[in-house]
Structure 1
Amino acid sequence: MSRRASLLTILAVVLVALNLRGAIAAVPPVLEDLQAAVGLTTAQAALMTSLPVLLFALAAPLAARLGRRLGPGRAVLVGLALIGAGTLVRVVGGPLVLLLGTAVVGLGITVGNVLVPVVIKRDLPGHASRVTGFFTATLAVGAALTSALTVPVAQLLGWRAALALWVVLVPVAAVGWWRHVVRRERGPVAGPAPGAEHARYASQAPGPSHTPPPSARDDRFVWRLPIAWALAVALGCQSALYYSLTTWLPTILVDRAGVTHAVGGTAMALYQITAIPTALTIANVARLRPRQGWIGVLIGVAWTVLVAGLLLAPGAWPLWAVVGGLAQGAGFTYALTLIVLRGRDEHVVRALNAMGQLVGYTIGAAGPFAVGWLAQTTGGWTAPGLLLVGLAVALGASSLVAGRDVVVEPAPSRAT
């Protein structure tokens, strides 16, 4: 691939990434307005953040299957269409429609979560770690934009317009992705003739021996690998920490620091935007050494500092928001980079990513619920804080295994 084509592919990745967190991050700053207007219960309000994350887990295998059937590039276009449709649908009705639209958004984001790293590994193999950093940094940018601007837009136009506004990013991303990824994607959309898929795949192989064709692969082999489980747990702990703080940080600050909801939204934007430096740099740091477990330990320490700061010195919230932003930017990039580094080829990356997101985002979806339940049950934030510290410790421990210098080889082809 030429340098110009590589840069345009990176641009397409960035445009898609702008759509993969904003629809979730837009909700917490206006959650109280949304509850009052639609009549959501506390549990339903928690679902506004947890439901998409749960779908990241449950729909990850379906997203991987869609990628095998259509090709990852075309499948990501389907995901963008779902994000756009769900973003619009969820603001036109009551609680049921709101949750249904949120679920559709979650399905669309899942496709991007699973398959954009596959495209990065396939189309930019020499720069996969670096581009993964760009990808996760842009996730932070999208989340920061929506966190910072949703409240002002809601004050002018109402919460429905504030949540629907972000659909404008979808067609821009779809056009860029179509032009610079899909049009170069090899193979028909559907229905290859018998043996054609094998021949097409073999023609791409760099030598006499090659990875088994996708039609003869069994991705379930990764479920037997300890390192795959370590990757999944690390991603799960990181996700639970991120989505728990994304959901509850404004409320914690209102309760503990006595700030206004507008200031809580500002803290959320700071928490999101300061993820960019570490999201851009951690991937390159990880590539420098064969073992990366120590990075996960440091990320766990940073999460612990954030939680301790919110509990013990909430008035210094700008500092803790920055520490949390650095932790979450590093954590997501680190988890995705490990998946890319551990997989021998794009198909192993797809298998590891699907498993990692199924297990990881199941853990991640439980985080906001567990934190909210503990806060309501105990009447404070100490017990939720201890849970979050436990997740940070588990992140560091699982990283020591996931960061070992091991490359997962493709599964053998199935007998035909």
Structure 2
Amino acid sequence: MKNTSTRRAGQVLLVWGLLVVAANLRASLTGVGPLLNRVQSDLGLAPAAAGLLNTLPLLAFAALSPLVPRLAARWGEERLLGGALVVLTIGIAVRWIPTAAGLFIGTVLIGAGIAVGNVLLPSLVKRDFPTKVGLLTSAYAMVMGGVAALASGVAVPIAEVAPGGWHTALGFWVVFALVSVLVWLPQVRTSGPAGPARRGQQLPWRSGLAWAVTAFMGLQSLGFYVVVTWLPQVLQDNGVSPAAAGWLLFWFQIVAVLTSLAVPRAMRWARDQRGLATACSVVLLVGYAGLFAEPRWALLWTVVLGLGGGACLVLALAFISLRAQDAASAGGLSAMAQSIGYLLAAVGPVVFGLLHSLSSGWRAPLLLMVVAAATQTAAALVAGRGTVAPTWRPGSELTAPAADHSAPTGR
């Protein structure tokens, strides 16, 4: 009885740890956009240099994600995640330094820390809670999105009233990062290096299903970062005031968070996730098409994009766990999906802005998003069902383990 109580307490502590980690995976990024004009003016940054503040973390995600499974095999997932939280904390603190060098170095460190958390959270959920993948994925996505929305909303008010202005508004999130380090410490103490089976596994580059999951992850990420970067400007150029445009971006994120709550129940009702993922991708398609055809109905299309975007984020994260046979496979699939996915996300806002410059309007870039949503819809039909077979390094002395039938595969 005592062992059961201890194990249950340990699981509760782990869930809280995962949620606190998730709270730190977006806030230090989404708080930059509302302050970008002030940062650019105070530091004398060129527009291209200012744009790097949004792009650098995504490039860090793309570059580091494939390395995470190998590092986790050497150090253990809990220790690696604990180290990543320390790096994230240092990055936020460095970005508080009122210089351009501190700003950019801190941003790179933040991207590195978040990249590790992005990859490891789906793997830890698959390993420790294989029968509650949908519920816990929705929970941490909701926390991640909710704190990100809060960061967008409070960035300007903090900058206006706090000593240090925008420096303090960006550095404020170091408090949350320090809390996450402390909450995660008990998990670090119980961590150890992974066994030989995990060390022998490679990323599933040759799997068509893995590429479908990667496409779904990448395209929904591209859409999110395009909206976060450019939606306020699109709205302002169509007659919406700057303040109202900022609040519409806030409501986009809030609607996305609320929508994510409904996804686990819908997943339980369905035999697989193909229909749900396709329907949610179509909702995004309608939102982009609406902005393209009738941008004056900005509030309606912002809500529609939030409805589709929140559900698609949860599905993309859940696919990583549901399409994998075990935690090691989930780590490899997560690294692949997030490396390619965030590379797309990094390129998306740049291409969107370039099309705007070349066409002197928003119709061409919005048409690009319509095409991206249509492609995501096609990927959903494949990514919503099946299991990615684990890939092993040549010469490994171990054979692939049998499939973990304790976890729902979504079929």
TM-score normalised according to structure 2 size:
0.89
Instruction: Determine which of 328, 340, 345 is the counterpart of 1:347.
Output: 328
**1:375-415: CA deviation from partner (whole Å, max 9, x where unpaired):** 122221111101111110111111111112x1223335743
Match for residue 389 of structure 1? Answer: 370
1:174 to 132, 156, 181: 181
Rounded to whole Å, the distance in 2 between the matches of 1:119 and 1:143 is 22
Residue matched to 1:240: 222
Alpha-carbon deviation of 1:159?
1.3
2:213 — aligned with what? 231
What does residue 357 of structure 1 align with? Answer: 338
The separation in 1 between residues aligned to 2:134 and 2:212, in whole angstroms, is 19
Note the 1:130-279 alignment, pairs <5 A. Answer: 130-157=135-162, 158-179=165-186, 181-185=187-191, 187=192, 198=195, 213-215=197-199, 217-220=200-203, 222-260=204-242, 262-279=243-260
* 1:142 to partner: Cα distance: 1.4
> Residue deviations 1:177-203, cap 9 Å, x none?
223x33443x3x6xxxxxxx65xxxxx
4+ residue segments displaced more than 4 Å: none
TM-aligned CA deviation for residue 312 of structure 1: 4.1
Deviates more, 1:73-82 or 1:279-288: 279-288
Q: What CA distance in whole angstroms lies between the structure 2 residues aligned with 1:317 and 1:45?
A: 27
Give yes or no for the alignment of 1:370 onto 2:351: yes
CA distance in 1, matches of 2:301, 2:50: 25
Shift of 1:45: 2.3
Partner-residue secondary structure (3-state), 2:173: helix
Partners in 1 of 2:173 and 2:137 — Cα distance?
23
CA 45–304 in structure 1, closer or farther in 2 if over 3 Å, else same: farther
Report the residue type matching 1:411 in the other structure.
T
The 1:95/1:376 distance shift into structure 2, 3 A limit, reads farther
Deviations 1:81-136 (A, max 9, x none): 12111122224244443222211111110000001111111121221221011111
Decide whether the 8 Å contact of 2:289 with 2:367 is kept in 1: no
Q: Which blocks of at least 5 consecutive residues in structure 1 are unaligned?
A: 190-196, 199-211
Task: With the length of structure 1 as denominator, give the TM-score of the two structures.
Answer: 0.88
1:411 to 378, 388, 391: 391
- Give ranges in structure 2 of 5+ residues lacking alignment: 398-411
Instruction: Provide the C-alpha distance between the structure 2 equivalents of 1:266 and 1:367, rounded to a whole number of angstroms.
Output: 23
Cross-structure match for 1:306? 287
The Cα shift of 1:3 comes to: 3.9
Give 1:341 deviation, angstroms.
0.5
Counterparts of 2:64 and 2:392, CA distance in 1: 25
Q: Distance in 1 between matches of 2:292 and 2:246?
A: 19
Relative to structure 2, which stretch is displaced further, 340-349 or 242-251?
A: 242-251
Q: In 2, Cα distance between the equivalents of 1:384 and 1:275? A: 22
What's 1:203 paired with?
Answer: none
**Is the contact made by 2:159 and 2:166 (CA closer than 8 Å) also made in structure 1?**
yes
Residue type of the partner of 1:213? A
CA–CA distance in 1 between the matches of 2:118 and 2:379? Answer: 21
**Distance in 2 of aligned mates of 1:73 and 1:303:** 35
> Which residue matches 2:361?
380
- Counterparts of 2:283 and 2:55, CA distance in 1: 23
2:58 matched to 1:74? no
Q: Work out whether residues 46 and 368 of structure 1, in 8 Å CA contact, stay in contact via their aligned partners in 2.
A: no
- C-alpha separation in 1, matches of 2:250 and 2:175: 20
Cα gap change, 1:264 to 1:154, in 2 (>3 Å) = farther
Contact 2:252 2:306 in 1 (8 A): yes
Matches of 1:169 and 1:358, distance apart in 2: 26
Is the 1:311–1:382 contact (alpha carbons within 8 Å) kept by the matching residues of 2? yes
Change (3 A) 1:229 1:165: same
Amino acid aligned to 1:127: K
CA distance in 1, matches of 2:297, 2:158: 27
Post-superposition Cα deviations, 1:334-392, rounded to whole Å, max 9, x if no partner, equal 01111110101000000101111111111111111111111122221111101111110
Q: Is the 8 A contact 1:292 1:403 kept in 2?
A: yes
Aligned to 1:34: 39
Partner of 1:201: none
Asked if 2 retains the 8 angstrom alpha-carbon contact of 1:148 and 1:268, the reply is no
Of the candidates 101, 111, 114, which is equivalent to residue 109 of structure 1? 114
For 2:309 and 2:14, locate their aligned partners in 1 and report how far apart those are by CA, in whole Å: 25
Alpha carbons of structure 1 residues 287 and 51: separation in structure 2 relative to 1, 3 Å: farther
1:49-82: per-residue Cα shift (whole Å, max 9, x none)? Answer: 1221121111102222221121111111111112
